[in-house]
Amino acid sequence: MATTHLHGNPVPASGELPAKGSKATDFHLTDKDLADFAGKRKALNIFPSIDTPTCAQSVRTFNARASEKPDTVALCISADLPFAHAYGAGIAGGPLAGLCARAVVVLDKDNPVQPPELVNEIAHEPNYDAALAAL
């Protein structure tokens, strides 16, 4: 089980992010699934709640920067939305249990996973440069 942090305190995640080079497994969002983005590079921006400044900023930044790259989409995923949950990013304990940890999983056109990031501190923004460079 992976661990992230909230204000410096360890918070366990419910699983592990997919390994680099592994084939992304299908997932279902509210009204789409992975197959709906076939042929596109995908940045999965997974976060706890859009109602926080860091989460809102990560959505704005990923949407703006991914749109600058050809054949690329940013998928912003949070348990705030019904049925929106992907991979092992769920928070398994602490005050945010049941929400998603802050994580980024980048998938190329045929869905091989690029190096994922479980952000070590939930209150911090992800490494946009590393994620977008992997696209």
CATH number for position 119: 3.40.30.10
Res 84 pLDDT > 70: no
Res 108 pLDDT > 50: yes
Would you give the DSSP letter of residue 35? G
State the burial class of residue 46 (Cβ atoms within 10 Å of its Cβ: 0-12, 13-18, 19+).
Answer: buried
Which residue carries 């952000």 as its tokens? 119
* Residue-wise pLDDT tens digits, 121-135: 999 999 999 999 998
Establish whether 76 is a catalytic residue.
Answer: no
C-alpha 34/C-alpha 44 separation (Å) is 10
Domain membership of residue 29 (yes or no) is: no
The answer to whether the Cα torsion of 43, 32, 47, 119 is positive or negative is: negative
Count of structural domains within the chain: 1
Which residue carries 């699983």 as its tokens? 15
Residue, of 98 and 41, whose pLDDT is higher = 41
- Please state the pTM of the whole predicted model: 0.71
How large a percentage of the chain has pLDDT more than 70?
Answer: 96
Catalytic pick among 11, 55, 75, 77: 55
Domain membership of residue 101 (yes or no) is: yes
What's the mean pLDDT in 4-18? 93
Q: Which residues constitute the domain of residue 99?
A: 3-18+36-133
